[in-house]
Amino acid sequence: MNKRLFVLTSVAVALLLMVVACGTPTTPAPAPTQAPAQPTAAPAQPTPAPAQPTEAPKPTEAPAGQPTAVPTPTIPPPVLTTTEGCAPNATKIVWFIGLGAGSQPDDVKKEKAWADKYNKSQTQACVVLNVVYNTGSNSYDALRAQIAAGNPPDIVGPVGKAGRANFLGSWADITPLAKAAGFDLTKYDPNLLEFTKDEGVLVGIPFALFPSFIYYNKALFDEAKLPYPPHKVGEKYDGKDWNLENFTELAKKLTVDAKGNDATSKDFDAKNIKQFGFFEQWTDGRGVGTFFGGGLPYDPKDPKTAVIPEHWKAAWKWYYDAIWKEHFIPNADYANSDQFGKGNVFSSGNLAMSWVHTWYTCCFDLKKTSWDIAVMPTINSKITAKLHGDTFAIMRDSKNKELAFQVLTQMVVDKDLYQIYGGMPAKVEDRAAFFAGLDERSAPNKVDWAVAEEMLKYPDLPNHEAWLPNVAKAKDIFDKWQVFLTQTPDVDMDKAIAKLQADLDAVFKEAPAQ
């Protein structure tokens, strides 16, 4: 996801980043999937009318004369560096940047500096950059054109699961490359290695990670005289299990109307809410379903047949009821209003808890907000913390896969590259410096970053950004599903889910053979 990208696009605050762990060149999603200094795109939720409609102003009469032309946004041109500074007989290794983070001009300067440094450090490889500024589709088209012409780059990245899904089958399996090079993959957490697989193929080495957890506003908990949520798996909350039932009750207590009644009160006014208890920030329908666990919306043995996981159905019903019946999650009108940050709800200061990834540190005032993070609740005897992550992948048709792998092994451990993309290092020994940087940005808050590391142990497998048949159209359906749930009252959820499955099934069956 190119979260930075989303920072600059949809919320006026921050999300140029979701194309990082994500980065899908499909119709803009109602929710982003990538993060600041990370990968992910911005939330493109339609902005419905504010919760309390106001009288529309009369249109201003257009002045006479020629209309003023709307300026065309300036898109940086592609960048292709030269072999200057390389050893005379070094083999050229092309590094393509544009499916996630990394195509911003300031990033390109740092990436070029890294390549120059690497090229001077050895004589075998000459790393050259091919950067296509990521606007959501053009960089994908550029890569497709190179592949079709039989001239693919060697290394692509940073790129997340959603970005890679658009090129399923185009990535090299690095397991035999690692074995041939004597590179020890066992030093990585098996869950992270599994997460870095696409359709069973290990396409990269874990690099920049973006776990999710509960961000909470300490001031709102203090005002309600409620204990903070647990920071460790297995901890009780106020003497009770940290499960869905008690999480829901807490969210209702933290949802308050204009007269100070919370959502557990019979006097609560759902039409005049000033503070909400919970929000699932910038995600799509699959992300919402993953609150109850990872899954795939098709039969793995027959991917062209849509099969919605039962726990996703349950998650969607819980989410829908939370919005329209229990009112502790804002509907689209509330969420997109000025009072609630125009979609960036936690940043408004009027939300108690938000489920989102580490990349969200891009998107609210880390110093002025009194905040911390908590572990995910246990749901159906299981904890799930959906995960975003970026890596560098080698193209299957690269003519220099073995040498590209040597370069890749240096990329995934280089602190300079971590600094560019902002992800939590997969290497445990590098995390202290990463969190120290976040501590400096967050002071005077003392954030318990051990929560983020703990949530890495509970990724959604299968991942919510995994490949889908006919991926662009299927992703669009899930984007619209999430918007539908937040905008539409009085829905028969069983019928709506049945229609969703039928729509997905039709799109899956249209998918070309792999």
Q: Which residues pair with 262 in a beta bridge?
A: 256
Q: Does 509 reside within a domain?
A: no
Residues 383 and 394 in one domain: no
Contact indicator for 254, 275 with CB cutoff of 8 Å? yes
Q: What is the DSSP letter of 123?
A: S
In 240-390, alpha helices (H): 244-253, 285-289, 310-324, 332-335
pLDDT in tens, 299-313: 999 999 999 999 999
The CATH number given to whatever domain includes residue 150 is 3.40.190.10
Tell me, yes or no, whether 100 lies in a domain.
yes
End-to-end CA separation in angstroms for the chain = 24
Angle between helices 244-253 and 310-324 (to 10 degrees): 20
**Residue found by looking up tokens 């580490």 in the block:** 358
| In a shared domain, residues 265 and 326 | yes
Judge whether 19 lies within some domain: no
Compute the Cα dihedral for 56, 61, 67, 68 and give only its sign.
negative
Q: Of 387, 405, 434, which residue constitutes the final position of a domain?
A: 387
Whether residues 354 and 267 share a domain: the answer is yes
Same domain, 244 and 300: yes
Distance of CA 240 to the CA centre of its chain: 31
Report the distance separating Cα 208 and Cα 422, nearest Å.
7
SS3 at position 458: coil
Are residues 122 and 198 both part of a single domain?
yes
Please name the residues in contact with 82: beta carbons below 8 A apart, sequence gap of 6 or more.
128
Instruction: Looking at the structure, tell me whether residues 358 and 259 fall in a common domain.
Output: yes
Q: Which of 367, 387, 407 is the last residue of a domain?
A: 387
Residues 241 and 104 occupy one common structural domain: no
On whether both 436 and 314 belong to a single domain, the answer is no
Residues 6+ apart with CB under 8 A from 144: 167
178 lies in the same domain as 244: no
Distance of alpha carbon 318 from alpha carbon 380, whole angstroms: 13
pLDDT for 186-244, tens place per residue?
A: 999 999 999 999 999 999 999 999 999 999 999 999 999 999 999 999 999 999 999 99
Domain, as residue range, for 147: 79-209+389-455
Least Cα distance to 290 among 358, 230, 355, 229 occurs for 355
The residue from 409, 424, 455 where one domain ends is 455
Output the CA angle 189-194-198, nearest 5 degrees: 145
Burial, 61: exposed, middle or buried (Cβ in 10 Å; 0-12, 13-18, 19+)? exposed
Taking the C-alpha atoms of residue 300 and residue 19, their distance in angstroms, rounded to an integer, is: 25
User: How many domains does the chain divide into?
Assistant: 2
Same domain, 378 and 399: no
For 390, the 3-state DSSP assignment is strand
Do residues 227 and 366 share a domain?
A: yes
Query: According to the model, what pLDDT value does residue 76 have?
Result: 78
344 and 402 housed in the same domain: no
pLDDT values of the chain reduced to their tens digit, one per residue, 514 residues? 444 444 434 443 343 444 333 444 433 333 333 334 434 333 333 333 333 333 333 333 333 344 444 445 567 788 999 999 999 999 999 999 999 889 888 899 999 999 999 999 999 999 999 999 877 678 999 999 999 999 999 999 999 999 999 999 999 999 999 999 999 999 999 999 999 999 999 999 999 999 999 999 999 999 999 999 999 999 999 999 999 999 999 999 999 999 999 999 999 999 999 999 999 999 999 999 999 999 999 999 999 999 999 999 999 999 999 999 999 999 999 999 999 999 999 999 999 999 999 999 989 999 999 999 999 999 999 999 999 999 999 999 999 999 999 999 999 998 888 888 889 999 899 999 999 999 999 999 999 999 999 999 999 999 999 999 999 999 999 999 999 999 999 999 999 999 999 999 999 999 987 6
Residue 469 lies in a domain: no
Residue 118 lies in a domain: yes
20 in a domain, yes or no?
no
Q: Is residue 419 part of a domain?
A: yes
In a domain, 202, yes or no: yes
